[in-house]
Amino acid sequence: MKKIDLHTHSTSSDGTLSPSAIIRMAESLDLAAVALTDHDTLDGIQEFLSAAKQSKVKAVPGVEIASTWNLREIHVLGLWVDHANSELGELLKKIRGNREKRNYEMLEGLRKSGFDITLEEVKNEAGGDVIGRPHVASLLVKKKYFKTIKDVFGSCLARGAQNYVSRILPEIAEVISIIHNAGGIAIWAHPVHRNKSNCTNVKSDIIHFISLGLDGIEAYYPEYSEKQHKMLLKYASELNLQITGGTDFHGEILPSISMATGRGNLSIPETVYTELKNYHLKQFKRL
């Protein structure tokens, strides 16, 4: 059976492959389907969809939006969103505005800490509309302040580190509802990622998000232990939720994660895509 990857980033946000190069790589890996889920932008979707027309790979237009709930940061994937939807476009524009304010303050802080770095340089590094911490980190590595991007996050950019600056995030309820209005389905991305959660509270969080309209959870992800993966599959089945899977591929900026296989051993079957696609079609009554 063929494999899929429903969580990737391109040069439109903080990835290093263009949207059409994402399709070419998916094709060379013989994937059945791939989703482009850039942070806070739909800029790459047109190029992504037109590249997919010349290929056998099924392309899912998507977006990843960081939201807030209960003082926590919850990442939501919108899959099959209409990239021309104006309400979603306005929300993303507002989010990018808050990101720009954050970037400005973060760079001021970095300069105060003695790093020679300007917004202009980071903009050149990013290329696209969405400038993120990985671009800042990559530049600090190029300027030889640090050896790796991971080191930059560890010493200054990760949450809690000395130059971390938070940004204003939309409420998860608003994000889910706008994704639905744009024809998409809303997925909780990496519910147990990086916070080292042991899943104990995850189930009650999922139940709450279902009441806000959540459609599914990312049950395959490179950072999960086997136990976490199985737990998420079990919750999805108990709660009648959809499941998705993806690697969070970013290209060379996060070189330890490969498309489709993650750290080398991830394998997301095509059936995950087929079931999700059927759910999406039913949801929007196009069957």
Which position among 3, 7, 83, 133 is part of the footprint of ligand AMP (CB under 6 A)? 133
Inter-residue contact 257 to 247 (CB < 8 Å): yes
Q: Kindly indicate which of the ranges 126-134, 202-210, 220-228, 263-271 contains the residues binding ligand AMP, using the contact rule CB under 6 A.
A: 126-134
Instruction: Pick between residue 3 and residue 39 the one whose CB is nearest to ligand AMP.
Output: 39
Residue 187 φ/ψ, nearest 5 degrees: -120, 135
Strand partners, 187: 77, 216
Which position among 156, 244, 248, 249 is part of the footprint of Mn ion (CB under 5 A)? 248
For tokens 């994000």, what's the residue?
A: 175
Q: Work out whether strand 72-79 and strand 58-69 pair parallel, antiparallel, or are unpaired.
A: antiparallel
CA atoms of 184 and 19, how far apart (whole Å):
19
Which position among 4, 5, 6, 14 is part of the footprint of ligand AMP (CB under 6 A)? 14
Inter-residue contact 216 to 187 (CB < 8 Å): yes
Q: Kindly indicate which of the ranges 47-55, 147-155, 202-210, 221-229 contains the residues binding ligand AMP, using the contact rule CB under 6 A.
A: 147-155
Instruction: Pick between residue 3 and residue 250 the one whose CB is nearest to ligand AMP.
Output: 250
Inter-residue contact 130 to 38 (CB < 8 Å): yes
CB of 117 to ligand AMP, least distance (A): 15
Determine if 149 is a binding residue for ligand AMP (CB under 6 A).
yes
Strand partners, 262: 258
Inter-residue contact 218 to 200 (CB < 8 Å): no
Determine if 3 is a binding residue for Mn ion (CB under 5 A).
no
Determine if 218 is a binding residue for ligand AMP (CB under 6 A).
no
Instruction: Pick between residue 1 and residue 160 the one whose CB is nearest to ligand AMP.
Output: 160
Which position among 2, 58, 123, 150 is part of the footprint of ligand AMP (CB under 6 A)? 150
**DSSP 8-state code for residue 206:** H
Q: Nearest-CA neighbor of 219 among 184, 188, 186?
A: 188
Determine if 21 is a binding residue for ligand AMP (CB under 6 A).
no
What are the distances in angstroms from CA 238 to CA 94, 148, 158? 36, 42, 35
Determine if 246 is a binding residue for ligand AMP (CB under 6 A).
no
Instruction: Pick between residue 116 and residue 154 the one whose CB is nearest to Mn ion.
Output: 154
Residues 40-79 that bind Mn ion (CB under 5 A): 64, 75
Instruction: Pick between residue 62 and residue 132 the one whose CB is nearest to ligand AMP.
Output: 132
Inter-residue contact 57 to 25 (CB < 8 Å): no
Binding site for ligand AMP (CB under 6 A): 14, 39, 132-134, 149-150, 153, 158, 250
